[in-house]
Amino acid sequence: MKETKVIELEEVAIRFSGDSGDGMQLTGTLFSDTTALLGNDISTFPDYPSEIRAPQGTVGGVSGFQVQFGKKQVNTPGDNANVLVAMNPAAIKANARFLEPGGTIIYDSDSFTEKNLRKANFETDDPFAECNLEDFFKIPVPISSLTQEGLKDFGLDNKSVMRSKNMFALGLVCWMFNRPLDYVEEFVKNKFRKKPVVVDSNIKVLHDGYNYGLTMQHMTPSYLVHPAEIENGTYRNINGNHATAWGLLAAAEKSGLELFLGSYPITPATDILTALSERKDLGVKTFQAEDEIAGICSAIGASFAGDLAVTTTSGPGLALKGEAIGLAVMAELPLVIVNVQRGGPSTGLPTKTEQSDLMQALYGRNGESPVVVLAASTPSDCFHYAYMSAKIALERMVPVILLTDGFLGNGSEPWKIPAMADLPSITPRVANDSEEFLAYKRDAATLAREWAFPGMAGFEHRIGGLEKNITGTVSHDPENHQVNSEIREEKVQRVVDMIPDLEICGDEDGGDVLVVSWGGTFGHTASTVRELRLAGKSVSLAHFNYIKPLPKNTKEVFSKFKKIIVCELNLGQFAAYLRNELPEFSYYQANKLKGLPFTVSELKESITKLLED
């Protein structure tokens, strides 16, 4: 017997791909969690269609899950996959352009039938040649028939049997990458604890896949990726939507308030609502409203009544909430609005990522309607920015929009678990002197008003969406409106004293090119800048999490560099905002609108070109 070929790697990206009913998201998630538990740094990218079950076997119905893991810092899920697991021919067609040259393709040879090849629009019987994949290392595995064979004594119908074939693929990949099966086994036992036959059949197939790799060592390579050298601490794997939900929970606990979420299901934000619905144990009130408008309006009502109030949505929902955000601006109530951005306009690309709601967040309302705008940059730091959004809202009596995106929301990475004691304090501006209380009397430094809610005797007052005077009484006085409009803007600007300075990653004293990015592109811009710097280029990164107001040293940072390039997943919205805020600089742009994250290689190309110009 030939020795197994062992390939030692710094990092590797695997893409699991099949029909949207093939369970590829679960397979990818289980593999990622297993890998994170082994101490590798990981970054994941679920990429799936918006149809729940698109026509079987078609390219449109392909669902993919890419995970990159390594012994060093992993900031992105990888431009291209080193290993592709393809459950059908359509998965080959859909993913051919996302494969690293010289990579490995494991495929279910049973599914490469004439019929399936036609469904995937292949013209010949050689899909690999058609996709120019001749040079790849291909491992045909009869996954379907081996799964059927393994379960022949279980008395299951064929549909149930075929549902387990993802476990065969998972077992095989676990063998290839030296991952133990116990985490997956535990998951299966827990998930199907009421259906013992499903537990047994899945575990059987999982082991069959693993053993297949072991037995066929001569043809399947084995990879070795050492654990990452990351900070000491306790870690867990977390995706952006969960991190957002938990950050809000942490803010509620820290501030001593109840958490209220008014929301309406919308991809890709729904998981935040789901995650908080599960937390009745922590007293969270979740209100699944009849529409996006009722989602935010119920939250505004809860804020009026003294809760930490939140609404969560994605782009189209933010559009519907616009008028109500204006009410929160005018009434000056604390409110957190989370927008998990997706491809637009209109329904756009519901399951794909984009950063094209920036202008909507900043300006998408009637009247002068300033709000604080933040953006998270990695799946795990959604926790921090959700927490900070709540802190700012509660301490400054202002609505805060937190922008994340589909890539962050669904993507996951290991996260060093913080301790509540280490998080900054949150002091809501609850009024305590009824003699002195006036609805719109302001703190001289922050311009924030005080918060008094029903149930507080002696603080009865009226607020609303009409322009008002200091007591809350309606006022149409021209001078009053001018002054109040300026105050509302200035109040947002003064949040600058709560936010950290902009950091320069790279040449702190300045250099040739400053890469500017914001929000969910951090992993890709940081990896790009790191690689360019390793190649000796004078390239640095300034990544923004605070959009409005901008950090106070922004101008100083920009002035240190010869060229500034703003990289974002839209047609140039942050660049336009910067041109407005800091017109003294010129901004180059790198933009992408494909519903996909940047790749490091395309960013390197844009920046290298700028360096050479």
Partner 1 sequence: MTDVKYTIKDFKSENEVRWCAGCGDFAIINAVQRTMAGMGIPKEKFAVISGIGCSSRFPYYMSTFGFHTIHGRATAVASGVKAANPELSVWVMTGDGDSMAIGGNHFIHLIRRNIDLNVVLFNNRIYGLTKGQYSPTSDRGFVSKTSPFGTVEDPFVPGQLVIGARGSFYARSIDGNLKLSQSVLEKAAEHKGTSVVEVLQNCVIFNNGIHNAITDPNHRADRQLVLEHGKPMLFGAENEKGLVFENGKLKVVKIGENGVTEDDILVHDAMEVDPTLHLALINMALPDFPVALGVIRAVPAPVYDVEMEAQIKEIQQTRKVSCVDELLNSGNTWEVTGNPNGSSKKCI
For 351-379, give one letter per residue: b (16+ CB within 10 A) or e: bbbbbbbbebbbebbeeebbbbbbbbbbb
In the complex with partner 1, the residue whose CB is nearer, 126 or 229, is 229
Contact call for residues 501 and 553 (beta carbons, < 8 A): yes
Closest approach of partner 1 to the CB of residue 295, in Å: 8
Closest approach of partner 1 to the CB of residue 479, in Å: 20
In the complex with partner 1, the residue whose CB is nearer, 123 or 435, is 435
The residues with which 310 forms a beta bridge, in sequence order, are: 261, 336
Distance CA 62, CA 55 (A): 9
Closest approach of partner 1 to the CB of residue 404, in Å: 17
The DSSP code sequence of 363-430 is H-SSSS---EEEE--STTTHHHHHHHHHHHHHHHT-EEEEEEEHHHHH-EEEEEPPPGGGSPP----B
In the complex with partner 1, the residue whose CB is nearer, 294 or 398, is 294
Give residues with Cβ within 8 angstroms of 282, minimum separation 6. 249, 252, 253, 259
In the complex with partner 1, the residue whose CB is nearer, 154 or 453, is 453
Q: Do the bridges between strand 81-86 and strand 11-19 make them parallel or antiparallel, or are there none, so unpaired?
A: parallel
Closest approach of partner 1 to the CB of residue 95, in Å: 28
In the complex with partner 1, the residue whose CB is nearer, 280 or 441, is 280
CA-closest candidate to residue 349, choices 589, 51, 575 = 51
Closest approach of partner 1 to the CB of residue 47, in Å: 22
Closest approach of partner 1 to the CB of residue 180, in Å: 13
Closest approach of partner 1 to the CB of residue 419, in Å: 7
Closest approach of partner 1 to the CB of residue 45, in Å: 17
In the complex with partner 1, the residue whose CB is nearer, 69 or 112, is 69
Closest approach of partner 1 to the CB of residue 154, in Å: 29
Instruction: Give the position of tokens 């679920």.
Output: 46
In the complex with partner 1, the residue whose CB is nearer, 287 or 587, is 287
CA-closest candidate to residue 244, choices 106, 384, 398, 445 = 384
In the complex with partner 1, the residue whose CB is nearer, 156 or 611, is 611
Contact call for residues 273 and 265 (beta carbons, < 8 A): yes
In the complex with partner 1, the residue whose CB is nearer, 231 or 584, is 231
Q: Do the bridges between strand 308-313 and strand 62-70 make them parallel or antiparallel, or are there none, so unpaired?
A: unpaired
In the complex with partner 1, the residue whose CB is nearer, 219 or 474, is 474
Closest approach of partner 1 to the CB of residue 300, in Å: 6
Cα distances (angstroms) measured from residue 230 to each of 31, 377, 411: 20, 19, 19
Distance CA 34, CA 28 (A): 10
Rg (CA), the chain: 26
Backbone region of residue 126 per phi and psi (left: phi > 0; alpha: psi in -120 to 50; beta: other values): beta
The residues with which 13 forms a beta bridge, in sequence order, are: 68
Closest approach of partner 1 to the CB of residue 482, in Å: 22
Provide long-range contacts, Cβ within 8 A and 24+ apart, for 113-119.
Answer: 115/57, 116/57, 116/88, 116/89, 116/90, 117/89, 119/55, 119/56, 119/57, 119/58, 119/89, 119/90
- Cα of 136 vs its chain's centroid, Å: 31
In the complex with partner 1, the residue whose CB is nearer, 463 or 567, is 463
In the complex with partner 1, the residue whose CB is nearer, 45 or 48, is 45
Closest approach of partner 1 to the CB of residue 506, in Å: 7
- The amino acid occupying position 392 is I
Distance CA 122, CA 140 (A): 18
As a whole number of Å, the end-to-end CA separation of the chain is 57
Helix (H/G/I), strand (E/B), else coil: 581: helix
Backbone angles phi, psi at 285, to 5 degrees: -105, 115
In the complex with partner 1, the residue whose CB is nearer, 137 or 453, is 453
Closest approach of partner 1 to the CB of residue 370, in Å: 18
In the complex with partner 1, the residue whose CB is nearer, 351 or 378, is 378
In the complex with partner 1, the residue whose CB is nearer, 76 or 147, is 76
- Assigned token pair, 312: 């969560």
Closest approach of partner 1 to the CB of residue 25, in Å: 18
Closest approach of partner 1 to the CB of residue 588, in Å: 20
Backbone angles phi, psi at 102, to 5 degrees: 85, 5
Cα distances (angstroms) measured from residue 548 to each of 96, 180, 361, 449: 41, 46, 10, 20
Closest approach of partner 1 to the CB of residue 325, in Å: 10
The DSSP code sequence of 490-556 is HHHHGGGGGSPPPPPBS-TT-EEEEEEEEGGGHHHHHHHHHHHHHTT--EEEEEESEEESPPTTHHH
Backbone angles phi, psi at 373, to 5 degrees: -125, 125
In the complex with partner 1, the residue whose CB is nearer, 200 or 253, is 253
